Amino acid sequence: MNPVQSEESPLPFGRFFLPGPTEVRPDVLEAQVRAMIGHRGPRIQELMEELQQGLRPVFSTERPVFVSASSATGLMEGAIRNGGGPRVLSLVNGAFSGRFAEIARACGCEVDEILVPLGGHHDAHELHEHLRMRHYDAVTVVHSETSTGALNPLEELAPVVAEHAETLLLVDAVTSAGGTAVRADAWGLDFVLTGSQKALALPPGLAFGVASEAMMRRSASLSGKGVYFDLEAFASKMEKMQTPTTPALSLMYALRYQLERIREETIEGRWRRHVTMAERTWSWVETMREENGVALRVLADEGYRSPTVTCIELPENTKGPAVVKALAERGWVIGSGYGSLKATTIRIGHMGDHTPAELESLLQEMEDVLR
């Protein structure tokens, strides 16, 4: 068995570049190991207050940040159940944005899609035209589409939705929040969510969401929201700095520790580090093609690429799973292509707590494997 995949004997930090779950630093892992506390007393209140302080900059918000004991998909469903209506418009440019549309359908919504080719992004003008033609109760969008490495221009899409007072914008920021700017308040996002195991570099199991006032009004107007992801319950418990159900305390201890690390780096510093890693990856792809004769290509359009994950198209005779396997044999983990892109692409998750130096070592290793 390859050493990286054995959880008993992990290799030193810096070799695990999956686009989620991402690698978690040993000290962050260790921060989980603390005694339990009751979740209705003063101590949970202190913990939650600290978490709120640390989480607000991640979403650039003054609103409460809900903490859910679920994976991110839980809050995608929560987004629909609290913010949906009969009609939803889903912007689909890959597997995760497709999942958002599926969730809306599974919750009984009537869903139209704006579908763009894999690697592509959504355009404000086209969205404007769709919203002009028909009323939608909500629009779903994935900021950083992890299956293709495309970054949607959220700051251009959001004002288009804002022109329609009865249309809410529901945003999956799972691989953007913590790795690049996500301005919930300034961009007027009605609901924005992420998970712990991507750019925040924590173990999986927590999801975070910020709801606008309009979203909370919509939630109050809807029945059939179920229990677990009812945002009204989150909001009312948040007044006492509590969660509706038993919180995932161990993960919250790790989160508190990680938010302190983020505060030290500064959130802007963290965003800059991600840009540095992404730009290095893209320029490496160019060099491989132009100078080393290996026909690699970044799948996402220039100018609309995610700073946290890059999806790389391989030369015709090179298969994605073979590259992933060759790297694993050398003790490195990258992501295979997602869904229909499995054979033709690979993905590098340059996000979370990775550094440019660690990325450089990975790229050197990849150069060896690909030549």
Ligand X SMILES: *Cc1c(COP(=O)(O)O)cnc(C)c1O
Q: How many CA atoms lie within 13 A of 132 on its CB side?
A: 7
In whole angstroms, the minimum distance from the beta carbon of 250 to ligand X comes to 17
Which of residues 151 and 168 has its CB atom nearest to ligand X in the complex? Answer: 151
Is the distance from CB of 28 to CB of 258 less than 8 angstroms? yes
Instruction: Give the CB-side neighbour count of residue 63, counting CA atoms within 13 A.
Output: 26
Closer residue to ligand X in complex, CB, 311/323: 311
Q: Which residues contact 303 (CB under 8 A, 6 or more apart)?
A: none
| Nearer of residues 146 and 288 to ligand X, judged by Cβ | 146
At position 138, the amino acid (one-letter code) is A
Of 69-77, 116-124, 161-169, 332-340, which segment contacts ligand X by CB under 6 A?
69-77
Nearer to ligand X, 340 or 361 (CB): 340
What is the spatial distance between Cα 60 and Cα 67, in angstroms, rounded to a whole number? Answer: 16
The answer, yes or no, to whether the previous bond of 21 is cis (omega within 30 of 0) is: yes
**Residues paired with 168 in a beta bridge:** 138
Site string for ligand X, 312-331 (x = CB under 6 A): --------------------
> 1 burial class (0-12, 13-18, 19+ CB within 10 angstroms)?
exposed
Q: Does 20 bind ligand X (CB under 6 A)?
A: yes
Q: How far is the CB of 76 from ligand X (least distance, A)?
A: 6
Burial of 202 from C-beta contacts in 10 A (0-12 / 13-18 / 19+): buried
Considering the complex, state which of residue 301 and residue 367 has its C-beta at the smaller distance from ligand X.
301
φ, ψ at 117 (rounded to 5°) = -60, 155
Stretch that binds ligand X, among 68-76, 114-122, 159-167, 212-220 (CB under 6 A): 68-76
Q: How many residues bind ligand X (CB under 6 A)?
A: 12
As a dihedral over the C-alpha atoms of residue 33, residue 35, residue 41, residue 42, rounded to 10 degrees, the angle is: -70
Considering beta carbons, is residue 32 or 196 the nearer one to ligand X?
196
Under the criterion CB under 6 A, does residue 179 sit at the interface with ligand X? no
Could you say which DSSP state residue 303 is in?
T
Which of 143/370 has CB closer to ligand X?
A: 143
Nearer to ligand X (CB atom), residue 32 or residue 176: 176
Q: Least separation, in Å, of the C-beta of 148 and ligand X?
A: 10
Assess 337 for contact with ligand X (CB under 6 A): no
Of 142, 215, 259, 314, the residue at the interface with ligand X (CB under 6 A) is 142
Closest approach, Cβ 146 to ligand X, in A, equals: 3
- 3-state secondary structure (DSSP) of residue 23: coil
Does residue 71 touch ligand X according to CB under 6 A?
yes
**Within the chain, where are the H helices?**
26-30, 42-59, 72-83, 95-106, 124-133, 154-162, 213-221, 231-238, 249-265, 267-290, 320-329, 356-370
Task: Tell me how far, at minimum, the Cβ of 172 lies from ligand X, in Å.
Answer: 5
User: What x-and-dash track marks residues 155-174 binding ligand X by CB under 6 A?
Assistant: -----------------x-x
Q: Is 203 in the site for ligand X (CB under 6 A)?
A: no
CB of 21 to ligand X, least distance (A): 8
Backbone angles phi, psi at 48, to 5 degrees: -65, -40
Q: Is 72 in the site for ligand X (CB under 6 A)?
A: yes
Q: Which range touches ligand X (CB under 6 A), out of 67-75, 122-130, 158-166, 236-244?
A: 67-75
The verdict on 287 binding ligand X (CB under 6 A) reads: no
Assign 3-state DSSP to the chain and report helix, strand, coil percentages, each to 5. Answer: 40, 15, 40
The 84-123 contact track toward ligand X, x by CB under 6 A, reads ------------x---------------------------
Query: Does 175 participate in binding ligand X (rule CB under 6 A)?
Result: yes
* Contact between residue 15 and residue 4 where contact means Cβ atoms under 8 Å apart: yes
- Residues at the site binding ligand X, with contacts judged by CB under 6 A: 20, 71-73, 96, 142, 146, 172, 174-175, 195, 198
